[in-house]
Amino acid sequence: MERKNASDFDPEVLVLFDAYVHGAIDRRGFLNKASKYAAGGLTAAMLLDALNPRFAEAQQVAKDDKRLETGYLSYPSPQGNAGMRGYFVRPAGATGKWPGVLVVHENRGLNPHIEDIARRLALDHFVAFAPDALAPLGGYPGDEDAARLLFPKLDQAKTLEDFVAAAAFLKSHPECTGKIGVVGFCWGGSIANMLATRLPDLGAAVPFYGGQPSAEDAAKIKAPLLIHYAETDQRINAGWPAYEAALKAKKVPYAMHMYPGTQHGFNNDTTPRYDEAAAKLAWQRTVEFFNKHLR
């Protein structure tokens, strides 16, 4: 099936897909509800297949790009799930140290798209580290549906500590300057927000369409925030007014951008919800933000 855009789907199908991706309905529930939108020879299963990621087609930086050095590193998480693992990327042949960026995946674990994001950051002269929340369960299984089923089995309290530990690991890495930021997407956007509440020395946080912390926790944020939201994302956007009020009350430096006409997940170029113009602008702003606050 040829690659499609969000505009090729009935808006209700996109709502159903968002519910499916985030566990509100299961695969059977999606297929049952989406069947009435299948037409012109399409089935509900074909709709789902068209909405699922195309990792190879969207890859921007090859795994073996000679400009980069990549590898998987283990790191300790004594308050979390003990031994953890992540994908580490640095500019090849570089001397000296680089600012670090922690890259936090969506609710599917460390899939090829997030590894590609880490490589993109390394090409912009950062050391990037992308932990895999699913490491305690064997790691990302290589299949998005299987990953979604694994994710609810995580001990969420321990998983949060795994990312606090990952930030400490990156900060102290010998190739990092000690200045670190975090970028996260969807579930990872929530983690980026959480880390901003937990790490007083965090240099910058960039949540893409992430759930917001409580007002009490938001009051603890010291890091500057660059917040990206999709316009058509009521589930996430409903939490913004309270979050903004909390940030303003404590004079936390932030910038928020709402991208017109976009869907949740608009930065993910492996799916039809990708919006090229919005994604490029958001990513340009993200890199500029990290350059400003981490260099």
Structure-token pair, residue 123: 């090409």
CA atoms of 103 and 192, how far apart (whole Å): 9
**pLDDT tens for each residue of the chain, 295 residues long:** 456 788 888 888 988 998 888 888 888 999 999 888 887 777 888 888 888 888 888 899 999 999 999 999 999 999 999 889 999 999 998 788 999 999 999 999 999 999 999 999 999 999 999 999 999 999 999 999 899 899 999 999 999 999 999 999 999 999 999 999 999 999 999 999 999 999 999 999 999 999 999 999 999 999 999 999 999 999 999 999 999 999 999 999 999 999 999 999 999 999 999 999 999 999 999 999 999 999 9
Task: Cite the residue boundaries of each domain of the chain with CATH code 3.40.50.1820.
Answer: 56-294
* DSSP result, 76-142: EETTTTEEEEEEEEEETT--S-EEEEEEE--TT-S-HHHHHHHHHHHHTT-EEEEE-TTGGGTS--S
Fold designation for 56-294: Rossmann fold (3.40.50)
